[in-house]
Amino acid sequence: MWVKRGVCDDESGAAGSREGIGANEDMEINEMSSAVDWLNRRLYPSYSRNWDDELFRERIIAYLHPSSVVLDPGAGAGIVPQMNFRVAVGQMCGVDLDPRVIDNPMLDEGRVAKAAGIPYEDGRFDVVFFCSRRGTSGTTCRP
């Protein structure tokens, strides 16, 4: 199972990579984030600030079982509470270029690696999901 929300930020497949992004692009990203936050507050006042993370979480939970072995490529430091599935699955693993992934409290095991070169054997995971804080929204699922 592969569930994706967002897009990889560069050709290496590393989520959240900032390499090659200049000050102008950074400012555009911040302006876009501010605009999206403003629209969310105006159009969806009854939703929480991270309503999209909550919806994404519901979608992921539908695929999880207590025995599931799950991979989060781009797991990062574990700062988005809605992405904590550790108590709902048998094993939660993550990879990220950010070395803080090793201490991510939402993972049983974190490894520093590019998402394009996942350091696990083929067929190990029942569910793999990707959630990017940047990029376009959308979800793709395939068994």
Sequence ranges of the domains in the chain: 2-21+50-142
Mean pLDDT computed over every residue of the chain: 76
- Overall average pLDDT of the 106-116 stretch: 92
pLDDT one-digit tens code per residue, 19-35: 444 555 555 556 767 78
Domain 2-21+50-142 has CATH 3.40.50: yes
Chain centroid to CA 104? 13
Three-class SS of residue 23?
helix
pLDDT one-digit tens code per residue, 41-56: 788 777 676 777 888 8
- Overall average pLDDT of the 82-94 stretch: 95
Q: What's residue 34's pLDDT?
A: 78
Judging by DSSP bridges, how do beta strands 139-142 and 69-73 pair with one another? Answer: unpaired
DSSP state of 110: E
Give the strand order in the sheet containing 139-142.
109-112, 91-96, 69-73, 127-131, 2-5, 139-142
Rounded to whole angstroms, the Cα distance separating 77 from 69 reads 19
